[in-house]
Structure 1
């Protein structure tokens, strides 16, 4: 039974990563012809309907967060808005796999930021792994060389915003429903999309473009639901590393849909980052006491919240 739960968690996590990456693929494709903010607004409506139904079914609307928790949810939502803008602006101009490779540094940066902000202890082994992972990011973006893509800086900025997003939920009381936290972010991102669309302009939408936006929104909902479910099955230390399967999906879809294939340096850098991240997860799991409960994150979904 225990093995069955682990396998279920792994499959759900892989499903989540596939769904989020397919969403990214649809968004990158449709923003070649539609304005970015219009697309965010349209997809946001779909995500709001799905997450709103989820919140209603789970009774999240009956919960009233405290003033402190409300401010933390607001901070998380604003960080989500910034992360979404930066991520999609980079996605519009970068190969999917290259941006995904940069995003693999997120767990490392969250570990480092948690030590700086909350005083979490990091031993020399994990600190070394974090530094090695950051070197891997430098290999990917290659600043000062001909291979440097300035849009990759937006990807890094997006990751930093996600660090703020994820750390902001840590002090939130565990009783706050995950659906309420996620819905607050979805409202903020969707509102940003409509405001931006009013400034950027609105174009007529073809049936094919509408279908792509609808697919992106549906895959966002699937990704969120499967991500939440994945963290509730099996050992978190066994399930969490399968987040890195998103890079495999990004490479495959980037090649099949856009004809983009990462160069050797990007693949080397991605391997360094993923290896460092896996070591960090393994080390954290080994150091965690068996009797110590694993705190549940209000929203364990990966990077793109507008996802």
Structure 2
């Protein structure tokens, strides 16, 4: 693998994480001004339009899919609805760095769930790393301790739904265009947000709110395109660890934009989660190389 491809892939991964984090900042800035479901619906409208335009230009919108893939896309979309609701609810009520730190457990939960449900191999080293990583999550959440927020549980629920989403995506046929899946998912979330918003009520949308929603939709599109491009260049074992740069962005933007800085225990827990996630990715890379040499 060309080293330049790895560097390009690392840059794309960092760009993807930055774009998604800037989207989170825009959505969090709407809290208190725009109800949650209204924000989801309005952002979704713009996101669907942008994905449709890009997908058509790429020629990657294809709806003639096998029934099995439609079922998986339906399950993935349902998981995305849950993840969106729980994540944004937590984001509206917690510092962005705290929510992002909890989500850094995803490589651990995906590895554990893949072993439990798909019988993918999971050695004792990675199992120990997952256990230690979950201990780090508990330092961030601190159930029963002073300063505990019920919305930390919402962030944990979001981790569960994102894990289900990612596992479902693994089962999709290789020929299913990623941008088609993204468009369908965005449409489902938009419809769900619109229906829920009728029960929650609407607030007036001024220029600031419209600007933030437009920026959020744009950042989501950039993040998505960068994350798709990542899969096409470089070695995933080298590139994957750069996803943790999202936590750095969340720390910096949370402090600069909202004046939030996590407590020492939260930072310690985040460091443990990231370290165990990096170790898990390292072990996966080692095992993949060993399997390739044995072929």
TM-score range, shorter chain: over 0.9
Bigger helix share: 2
Question: Paired residue for 1:90?
Answer: 90
Report if aligned partners of 1:63, 1:177 keep a CA contact under 8 Å in 2.
no
| Superposition map of 1:160-199 within 5 A | 160-199=160-199
Report if aligned partners of 2:104, 2:274 keep a CA contact under 8 Å in 1.
yes
SS at match of 1:60: coil
Question: Paired residue for 2:265?
Answer: 265
Shift in CA distance, 63/205, structure 1 to aligned 2, threshold 3 Å? closer
Once the two structures are TM-superposed, the CA of residue 199 in structure 1 deviates from its matched residue by 1.3
Question: Paired residue for 2:23?
Answer: 23
Once the two structures are TM-superposed, the CA of residue 230 in structure 1 deviates from its matched residue by 1.7
Root-mean-square deviation (Å) = 1.3
Question: Paired residue for 1:127?
Answer: 127
SS at match of 2:20: helix
Question: Paired residue for 1:230?
Answer: 230
Question: Paired residue for 1:146?
Answer: 146
Shift in CA distance, 291/123, structure 1 to aligned 2, threshold 3 Å? closer
Quote the Cα distance in structure 2 between the aligned partners of 1:173 and 1:7: 28
Quote the Cα distance in structure 1 between the aligned partners of 2:291 and 2:174: 19
**Consecutive aligned runs of 4 or more in structure 1 exceeding 2 Å deviation:** 57-63, 289-292
| Larger mean Cα displacement after TM superposition, 167-176 or 91-100 | 167-176
Deviations 1:130-185 (A, max 9, x none): 10100000011111111311110000001100111111122211111111111111
Quote the Cα distance in structure 1 between the aligned partners of 2:291 and 2:146: 51
Question: Paired residue for 1:303?
Answer: none
Question: Paired residue for 1:254?
Answer: 254
Give the TM-score of the pair, scaled to structure 2. 0.96
Quote the Cα distance in structure 1 between the aligned partners of 2:166 and 2:183: 15
Quote the Cα distance in structure 2 between the aligned partners of 1:257 and 1:200: 27
Shift in CA distance, 180/290, structure 1 to aligned 2, threshold 3 Å? farther
Quote the Cα distance in structure 1 between the aligned partners of 2:218 and 2:61: 22
Question: Paired residue for 1:136?
Answer: 136
Once the two structures are TM-superposed, the CA of residue 46 in structure 1 deviates from its matched residue by 1.1
SS at match of 2:216: helix
Report if aligned partners of 1:237, 1:281 keep a CA contact under 8 Å in 2.
yes
What are structure 2's unaligned runs of at least 5 residues? Answer: none
Question: Paired residue for 1:203?
Answer: 203
| Larger mean Cα displacement after TM superposition, 3-12 or 258-267 | 3-12
Quote the Cα distance in structure 1 between the aligned partners of 2:155 and 2:123: 28
Question: Paired residue for 2:286?
Answer: 286
